[in-house]
Structure 1
Amino acid sequence: MPRKTDARARAIATAERLFRIQGYAATGLTQIIEQSGSPKGSFYFHFPRGKSQLAEETIDLYVANRAAAFRHISANTTGDAPSFFKRIFTVIAAEMIADNYQYGCLMQNLVNERSALDAELTERVARGFVDLTDIIAEHLRGCGFAPARASSSAVALLAAIEGGRTIARVERAPAVFEALADIFCRRWPAPERLR
């Protein structure tokens, strides 16, 4: 009976870390294989299309993890949009502080480099943003936002997170997230109730 290994999971985790720190082009397969400790043959068994397939699967897992985090925050801030906004920005800021501001957003990094070159990767990133936007919009509808307002607010929140992450990396400080939390909490404090 063949022995199970965690080579696939280690390759994905290593790729996520490297893609988020240094981008797609600067990350070589040799570096991923060496840092993940995966045998080369095992790597190509799990990812026969190589680096592009690895990037696609890394996006899928990244989106699933982000979605789970957003759902958890939503469950703990039911009916309370300001607390939801504040918690989202607090969590992102805490992640960046813990990682010493090294990590960008995987989806942003990959789409910035690959959107003109890899349609499948770009489609996966687009689906990821839609999935995350839907989770946020659903929470905001539960807070009483009208559907159109919930959708536009969700798009604005994701855009703010992406831009905030970039600024925080440059400044190596979480102040941008504190400012965004303040603006979102004041801008959307008491949504209209649905009739």
Structure 2
Amino acid sequence: MAAAAKHRDALLAASVRLFRQKGYAGTGLSEILQESGAPKGSLYHYFPGGKVEIGVEAVQLAGKAVTRTLKDLAAKTDGPGALVSHYLDLLAGWMAASDYRDGCPITTTLLETVPEHEAIREAGAAAFAAWAGVLEESAVAAGIPQDRAARLAHFTISALEGALVQCRVSGDAAPLRLVAEELSALYAAAETR
């Protein structure tokens, strides 16, 4: 990997980690530099728009990672209920491994930047739409009507994001497990109609 890409990628990866743990407002540029190991001048060289540009790209990077994970799970699972259940199990494990210090880097960033930073809002909206698209596609393939599949997909994202917040507050994966059970039941009921 070229030095340029290495520093740029390291800055983004550090930003995603820090935003996930401390939020956007709680993360300083000096922390991003320190965490990434990148030289000081590289931050504005690769991100001339400063922290807002880093925020946009961090949200895009995290969003694409989740989309890839959902697509991989969709290919390996039988229907939307199983897809959601497996994904929420992954999230529960990830939350426990972080001792409930991590959250969703997209949501924490959006909560602190919208509506002031339209570019970050747009990046978050695109990420959520991509996730919903994967879930909707899985639901339609299982025989759920398109309109119902779309509504369930968006509801799923809302429920899982809320459960992630509750996990951090409670220090327990129970909210994710509850959401997984209820969403699986909703998808199963929609498949039988």
* Coarse TM-score class (shorter-chain normalised): over 0.9
What is the letter of the counterpart of residue 31 of structure 1? E
Q: Contact 1:85 / 1:184 at 8 angstroms: preserved in 2?
A: yes
What is the aligned partner in structure 1 of residue 127 from structure 2?
A: 128
Residues 84 and 5 from structure 1, CA distance in 2 versus in 1: closer, same or farther, beyond 3 angstroms?
Answer: closer
Identity %, equivalent residues: 27
Cα shift at 1:4 = 4.9
Q: Which piece of structure 1 moves more, 115-124 or 180-189?
A: 180-189
Cα shift at 1:3 = 5.2
Q: Contact 1:143 / 1:191 at 8 angstroms: preserved in 2?
A: no
Query: Which has more radius of gyration?
Result: 1
Distance across 2 between alignment mates of 1:90 and 1:96:
10
Distance across 1 between alignment mates of 2:88 and 2:3:
42
What is the letter of the counterpart of residue 190 of structure 2? P
Query: How many residue pairs are counted as aligned between the two chains?
Result: 192
Distance across 1 between alignment mates of 2:80 and 2:124:
26
What is the aligned partner in structure 1 of residue 143 from structure 2?
A: 144
**1:153-172 aligned within 5 A:** 153-172=152-171
Distance across 2 between alignment mates of 1:180 and 1:137:
18
**1:102-121 aligned within 5 A:** 102-121=101-120
Cα shift at 1:86 = 1.4
Distance across 1 between alignment mates of 2:137 and 2:122:
22
**2:67 is aligned with 1:71:** no
What is the aligned partner in structure 2 of residue 32 from structure 1?
A: 32
What is the aligned partner in structure 1 of residue 185 from structure 2?
A: 186
Distance across 2 between alignment mates of 1:50 and 1:112:
19
RMSD: 1.7
Structure 1 regions of 5+ residues with no counterpart? none
What is the aligned partner in structure 2 of residue 52 from structure 1?
A: 52
What is the aligned partner in structure 1 of residue 23 from structure 2?
A: 23
Distance across 2 between alignment mates of 1:97 and 1:117:
32
Cα shift at 1:138 = 0.6
Structure 2 regions of 5+ residues with no counterpart? none
Cα shift at 1:85 = 2.4
Distance across 2 between alignment mates of 1:45 and 1:4:
10
State TM-score, norm by structure 2.
0.93
Distance across 2 between alignment mates of 1:127 and 1:141:
21
1:112-154 C-alpha deviation (Å, 9 max, x unpaired): 1111211111111111111111111011101111001100000
Q: Which piece of structure 1 moves more, 142-151 or 3-12?
A: 3-12
SS at match of 1:40: coil
What is the aligned partner in structure 2 of residue 97 from structure 1?
A: 96
Distance across 1 between alignment mates of 2:21 and 2:170:
16
State TM-score, norm by structure 1.
0.92
